[in-house]
């Protein structure tokens, strides 16, 4: 074990239980892999078998809704725990967690304001309408329903223990029922469950009491906000959040997991635009306030070394980690072995959550196997016949393919025409305002894996028919992973030499643009460049797009971020615009109002749609036995598809 | 659809002008029906898809908290947008698909930009917490009744969901 992480990996007593380390796998939303009736599926079991083996000391199984009506059901395919008929699958999961030497915790999740997904309504303490259209209109929960809801939670807790779990967890993370009672934003009741903080916290205290009574000395974890990020709209202040934690501790909870934010909060809590460690102070405050209560924390804390430091400094007791382990289930093992450079880091792309809020199963940009653990097509198995494979292009798709193929026993050489691996991603990372390091870590990972697996990468090497003729019959397979280029045919011809440049060249630092810039294209490439040129280089930038709105190709949960940056940075945009001419010191467009407008520019950056680099498919067709393609060279999309394509191809070559 | 019943009398539900000293930007923002009407006319294209009777409302934070007060309504009637006053009697059955709750100074900021980028300012206020948007109709209805473009312009689709 690396000595620097010794606090993280030390065994820890937790009540009568002993955890082999201070790492708690967090329930992390829900997977949406299950049956519409709440039954656990083979797909879910496959995922949980992998999670059980992550080497965490405590593993929390995803939140199950406790009521038969489904008022607590917040996700399209959330698991249920309101009946004994669900138990056999829960028993399997608890068994796997125990077999792997971890403590098994079952989360009970009543989504409250975000619940009732199959119903025409949700229940919450008071009728406070939704601020997001995804959720259901509210009904006020009656006192009788409060009693019944508490009973259902207690029954679900008993059922969890019956299935073999060691303890349970309730959650107010992101604005679920417990948070709805605690918060002034959604609790406007005038009875004993509303009004004062004590009254608002009454539901939580009764819930804790009932569950503890139902499950005896088995531990109960409660997830509570250190900050709701809703205070501007009448939600709890941070101080009130901590008073609620004190109340929970006073009722004997066995661990408090500190969380941040509501789903409808107007600011980020866990996206890539939040610096790692940003919220650690909330955990530290909880620990200081409640020194005798174990504190778990992990929001936007993806780094084990930082977690170790926090534990060392007494800021919290357990590192609660989920999304980083969706990205790389071997994270703990690699950290323990001192191989953090080989970890596939969670880059906060929010692909997982973007999908969840479209009622889709979650997937991970970095980990193509997530959600496919049960599927033989996604297993990295020894190749029946080792082949000699040339991968052309060292971007994410080509490297993912090369690594997967190499792990299967193939002999792989990567050819890259530029001087470094990373493809277009390297330039994109350099200009990313959210967190450049996150994206750069993807490139680092590929470089480190190539070295670790001894994959030869021939840089500054262009593959074309001529080069190929010198290597005829040396390879069995060629993989075209040559990416895509800006489609200049979509633009009028530039009449001024040097005025029009390619976005990918600017991103890569090959071209230094002038002071006044017009970016043609308001998708993720154009926006990322425009933001960076304005913020980091002080350029005067205007963005022109033919669509009605910018950011059309951006991940849904991140679109707002780009539009916000564009506004905050004061970058003018022209949407629904047609480019008429490029030259004579600028760009002539027809704007949304139908009038012609001249935008002066020293540099015009082409960031319009890309077209795949597919020439090699034709040129190499008669020169190699097997010819395949992956990533943007097939269809230009984004990082997630590039990585997934590369993996899937590597797994079946 | 959130149908817009015709207002009995705009004056009856209009905002209390308050004492003369309250002729602050906040008061002007609430009372300038003509200004809001001009905004709607200038952005007519944005509302073209709205179904007949489609309506959104704006109430001051105090009225929303009290469940009573005047509500500025933007509604589509006979193919055109109208700004009008209605009584706000709480969230239930308030007759609008979307309700904006505004801090007085936030609405004043929007109002101050009626001649420029008022909707952009509204979007900014929504993001900064000066205004809050309540969705009173199901998502499917919002889509069916043509609110999508308008709401996207205000950044709604970009907001929320575990960021």
3-class secondary structure, A35: coil
Q: Examine the pLDDT at A268 and tell me if it is beyond 80.
A: no
Task: Output the pLDDT for position B4.
Answer: 37
Q: Which residues contact A135 (CB under 8 A, 6 or more apart)?
A: A113, A114, A122
Q: ipTM score here?
A: 0.81
Grade residue A275 by pLDDT with cuts at 50, 70 and 90.
confident
Q: Examine the pLDDT at B91 and tell me if it is beyond 60.
A: yes
Chain A hits for B124, Cβ within 8 Å: 567
Task: Output the pLDDT for position A133.
Answer: 84
Task: Output the pLDDT for position A363.
Answer: 92
Residues paired with A586 in a beta bridge: A600
Chain A hits for B133, Cβ within 8 Å: 131
Q: Examine the pLDDT at B163 and tell me if it is beyond 80.
A: no
Task: Output the pLDDT for position A274.
Answer: 87
- Tens-place pLDDT, residues A174-233: 899 999 999 999 999 999 999 999 999 999 999 999 999 999 999 999 999 999 999 888
Question: Looking at chain B, which residue has its C-alpha nearest residue A268?
Answer: B163
Overall average pLDDT of the A251-255 stretch: 98
Overall average pLDDT of the A13-41 stretch: 94
C-beta atoms of B155 and A563 within 8 A: yes
Q: How far is CA A443 from the centre of its chain?
A: 18
Task: Output the pLDDT for position A29.
Answer: 72
**Residues 35 through 74 of chain B touching chain A, CB cutoff 8 Å:** 65
Q: Examine the pLDDT at A104 and tell me if it is beyond 70.
A: yes
Q: Give the mean pLDDT of chain A.
A: 95
Tokens 């479209």, located at residue: A358
Q: Examine the pLDDT at B66 and tell me if it is beyond 60.
A: yes
Nearest to A183 by CA among A222, A126, A106: A126
Task: Output the pLDDT for position A384.
Answer: 95
Q: Does residue B119 belong to the interface with chain A, where contact is any CB pair within 8 Å?
A: no
Grade residue A559 by pLDDT with cuts at 50, 70 and 90.
confident
- Tens-place pLDDT, residues A413-466: 999 999 999 999 999 999 999 888 889 999 999 999 999 999 999 999 999 999
Q: Walk me through the domains of chain A, giving residue ranges and CATH numbers.
A: 55-316 (3.20.20.70), 380-483+613-652 (3.40.50.720), 488-611 (3.50.50.60)
Grade residue B157 by pLDDT with cuts at 50, 70 and 90.
low
Q: Examine the pLDDT at B23 and tell me if it is beyond 80.
A: no
Q: Highest mean pLDDT range out of A153-162, A268-277, B106-115?
A: A153-162
Grade residue B18 by pLDDT with cuts at 50, 70 and 90.
very low
Contact A427, A508 (CB under 8 A): yes
Look at A650 and A638; give whichever has higher pLDDT.
Answer: A650
Q: Which residues contact A187 (CB under 8 A, 6 or more apart)?
A: A125, A126, A180, A181, A193, A194, A200
Contact B47, B40 (CB under 8 A): yes
Overall average pLDDT of the A83-111 stretch: 98
State the best of A133, A547, A559 to mutate against chain B, taking most chain B CBs within 10 Å. A133
Overall average pLDDT of the A493-497 stretch: 97
Q: CA separation (Å) from A270 to A274, A323, A491?
A: 6, 10, 38
Lowest mean pLDDT among A262-271, A342-351, A560-569, B96-105: A262-271
Grade residue A244 by pLDDT with cuts at 50, 70 and 90.
very high
Distance of alpha carbon A454 from alpha carbon B89, whole angstroms: 71
Q: Examine the pLDDT at B12 and tell me if it is beyond 70.
A: no
Nearest to B1 by CA among B101, B132, B133, B147: B147
Grade residue B33 by pLDDT with cuts at 50, 70 and 90.
very high
Q: Walk me through the domains of chain B, giving residue ranges and CATH numbers.
A: 23-152 (3.30.1050)
Which residue in the set B92, B99, B139 is minimally distant from A127, CB to CB?
B92
Overall average pLDDT of the A318-340 stretch: 95
Residue A213, burial from CB neighbour count under 10 angstroms (0-12, 13-18, 19+): exposed
Per-position DSSP letters for B104-155, written without gaps between them: HHHHHHHHTTTTTTHHHHHHHHHHHTSEEEEE-S-HHHHHHTT-HHHHHHTT
Instruction: Provide the percentage of residues in chain A whose pLDDT is more than 90.
Output: 86
Q: Which residues contact A594 (CB under 8 A, 6 or more apart)?
A: none
- Tens-place pLDDT, residues B119-145: 989 988 988 889 999 999 888 888 899
Q: Examine the pLDDT at A292 and tell me if it is beyond 50.
A: yes
Task: Output the pLDDT for position A134.
Answer: 83
Grade residue A554 by pLDDT with cuts at 50, 70 and 90.
confident
Overall average pLDDT of the A83-104 stretch: 98
Look at A153 and B104; give whichever has higher pLDDT.
Answer: A153
Which residue in the set B129, B152, B161 is minimally distant from A266, CB to CB?
B129
Task: Output the pLDDT for position B161.
Answer: 44
Chain B hits for A561, Cβ within 8 Å: 158, 163
Grade residue B69 by pLDDT with cuts at 50, 70 and 90.
very high
């Amino acid at each position: 074990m690396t000595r620097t992480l010794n606090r993280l990996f030390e065994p820890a007593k937790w009540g009568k239980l002993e955890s082999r380390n201070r790492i708690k796998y967090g329930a992390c939303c829900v997977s949406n892999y299950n049956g519409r009736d709440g039954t656990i599926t083979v797909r879910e079991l496959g995922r949980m078998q992998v999670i059980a083996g992550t080497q965490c000391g405590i593993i929390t199984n995803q939140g199950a809704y406790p009521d038969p009506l489904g008022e607590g059901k917040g996700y399209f395919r959330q698991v249920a725990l309101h009946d004994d008929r669900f138990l056999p699958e829960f028993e399997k999961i608890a068994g796997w967690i125990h077999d792997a030497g971890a403590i098994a915790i079952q989360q009970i999740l009543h989504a409250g304001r975000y619940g009732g997904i199959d119903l025409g309504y949700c229940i919450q303490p008071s009728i406070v309408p939704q601020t997001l259209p995804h959720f259901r209109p509210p009904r006020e929960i009656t006192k009788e329903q409060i009693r019944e809801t508490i009973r259902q939670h207690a029954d679900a807790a008993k059922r969890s223990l019956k299935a073999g779990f060691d303890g349970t967890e309730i959650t107010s993370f992101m604005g679920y029922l417990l948070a709805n009672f605690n918060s002034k934003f959604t609790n406007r009741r005038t009875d004993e469950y509303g009004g004062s903080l004590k009254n608002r916290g009454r539901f939580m205290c009764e819930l804790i009491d009932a569950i503890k009574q139902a499950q005896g000395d088995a531990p109960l974890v409660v997830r509570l906000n250190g900050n709701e990020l809703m205070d501007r709209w009448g939600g709890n202040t941070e101080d009130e959040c901590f008073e609620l934690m004190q109340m929970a501790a006073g009722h004997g909870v066995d661990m408090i997991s500190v969380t941040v934010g509501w789903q409808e909060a107007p600011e980020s809590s866990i996206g890539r635009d939040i610096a790692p460690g940003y919220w650690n102070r909330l955990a530290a405050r909880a620990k200081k306030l409640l020194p005798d209560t174990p504190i778990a924390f992990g929001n936007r804390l993806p780094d084990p070394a930082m977690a170790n430091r926090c534990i060392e400094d007494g800021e919290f007791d357990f590192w609660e980690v989920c999304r980083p382990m969706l990205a790389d289930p071997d994270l703990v093992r690699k950290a323990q072995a001192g191989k953090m450079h080989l970890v596939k880091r969670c880059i906060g792309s929010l692909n997982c959550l973007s999908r969840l809020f479209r009622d889709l199963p979650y997937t991970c940009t970095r980990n193509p196997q997530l959600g496919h653990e049960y599927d033989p097509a996604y297993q990295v198995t020894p190749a029946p016949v080792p082949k000699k494979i040339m991968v052309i292009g060292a971007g994410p798709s080509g490297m993912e393919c090369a690594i997967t193929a190499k792990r299967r026993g193939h002999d792989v050489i990567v050819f890259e025409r530029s001087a470094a691996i990373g493809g277009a991603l390297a330039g994109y990372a350099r200009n990313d305002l959210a967190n450049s390091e996150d994206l750069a870590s993807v490139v680092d990972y590929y470089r480190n894996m190539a070295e670790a697996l001894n994959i030869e990468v021939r840089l500054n090497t262009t593959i074309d028919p001529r080069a190929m003729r010198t290597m005829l019959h040396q390879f069995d397979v060629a993989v075209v992973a040559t990416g895509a280029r800006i489609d200049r045919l979509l633009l009028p011809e530039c009449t001024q030499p040097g005025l029009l440049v390619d976005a990918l060249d600017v991103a890569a630092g090959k071209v230094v643009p002038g002071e006044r810039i017009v970016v043609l294209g308001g998708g993720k490439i154009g926006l990322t460049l425009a933001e960076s040129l304005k913020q980091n280089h002080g350029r005067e930038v205007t963005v022109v797009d033919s669509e009605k709105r910018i950011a059309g190709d951006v991940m849904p949960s991140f679109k707002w971020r780009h539009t916000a940056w564009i506004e905050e940075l004061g970058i003018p945009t022209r949407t629904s615009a047609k480019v008429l001419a490029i030259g004579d010191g600028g760009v002539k467009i027809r704007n949304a109002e139908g009038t012609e407008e001249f935008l002066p520019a020293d540099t015009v950056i082409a960031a319009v749609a890309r077209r795949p680099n597919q020439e090699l498919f034709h040129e190499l067709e008669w020169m190699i036995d097997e010819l395949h393609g992956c990533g943007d060279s097939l269809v230009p999309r984004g990082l997630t598809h590039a990585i997934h394509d590369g993996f899937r191809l590597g797994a079946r070559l | 659809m959130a149908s817009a019943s015709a207002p009995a009398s705009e004056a009856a539900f209009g905002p209390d002008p308050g004492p003369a000293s309250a002729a602050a930007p906040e008061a002007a923002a609430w009372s300038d029906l003509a200004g809001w009407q001009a905004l709607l006319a200038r952005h007519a294209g944005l509302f073209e898809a709205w179904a007949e009777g489609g309506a959104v409302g704006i109430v001051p934070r105090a009225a929303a908290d009290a469940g009573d007060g005047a509500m500025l309504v933007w509604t589509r009637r006979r193919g055109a947008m109208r700004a009008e006053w209605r009584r706000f009697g709480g969230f239930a059955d308030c007759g609008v698909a979307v309700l904006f709750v505004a801090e007085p100074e936030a609405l004043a900021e929007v109002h101050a930009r009626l001649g420029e980028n008022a909707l952009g300012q509204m979007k900014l206020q929504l993001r900064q917490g000066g205004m809050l948007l309540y969705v009173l109709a199901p998502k499917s209805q919002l889509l069916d009744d043509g609110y999508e473009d308008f709401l996207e312009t205000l950044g709604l689709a970009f907001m929320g969901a575990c960021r």
